[in-house]
Amino acid sequence: MERRTEDAKLEYRRAIDLNPNFAAAYGYLGFTLAMAGQSDEAITQLERAIHMSPHDPQNAIFNVALAVAHFLESRYPEAVSFARKAVQERDGITSGHRIYIASLSQAGQIEEARLALQHLRELMPNISIAWCEQHVPYAPGPMAKFLDGMRKAGLE
């Protein structure tokens, strides 16, 4: 979350080396990789985590990361599907709502994206492009694509 991706990847890999059955470590490694734009490896790690612990409450977070990974590869229907699943599992997961909105926008589903943005504003009245730039931990390239999607939905 501090945009120290390389450090995070090393720590999660160390956790996996210490305990190869630690599903959450695979999930958070996948989350880190997704935010860095390393989608294919992210998907592998995230799917492994969910497979290892299918009823884990953290899977909502891992579904957000799966949405991010697909979003960054321009696979918007898949991104919408994973983001929708995440917010259905846990409505308060604002990161899920954000990637859901950006994915809908990039998929051309602008009206649905605007409705989803209205809901996010109920959960996060302070949401703005400036807030996203400061608090969302995407690497620079992925951040530009994400912000473009948020702007298309009407976020300023």
pLDDT in tens, 114-148: 999 999 999 999 999 999 999 998 878 889 999 99
pTM confidence score: 0.93
- Spatial contact of 31 and 46, defined as CB atoms under 8 Å apart: yes
Residue 81 has a CB neighbour count (10 Å cut-off) of 17
Q: Which position has the higher pLDDT, 69 or 8?
A: 69
Backbone CA torsion sign across 144, 32, 124, 67? positive
Q: How does the average pLDDT of the chain come out, rounded?
A: 94
The pLDDT of residue 1: 57
Q: What are phi and psi of 43, to 5 degrees?
A: -60, -45
Would you state the structure tokens that stand for residue 65, as one six-digit string?
């990361």
- Spatial contact of 116 and 83, defined as CB atoms under 8 Å apart: no
Q: Taking residues 14-38, report their average pLDDT.
A: 94
Q: Which of 86, 124, 89 is nearest to 103 (CA)?
A: 86
CA atoms within 13 A on the CB side of 149: 29
Q: Which fold has domain 5-152?
A: 1.25.40
Overall residue count recorded for the chain in this entry: 156
The pLDDT of residue 68: 96
Q: Which position has the higher pLDDT, 2 or 135?
A: 135
Would you state the structure tokens that stand for residue 10, as one six-digit string?
């090393």
- Spatial contact of 151 and 108, defined as CB atoms under 8 Å apart: no
Question: First and final CA of the chain: distance in angstroms?
Answer: 23
What lies within 8 Å, CB to CB, of 25 at 6+ separation is 12, 15, 16, 19, 49
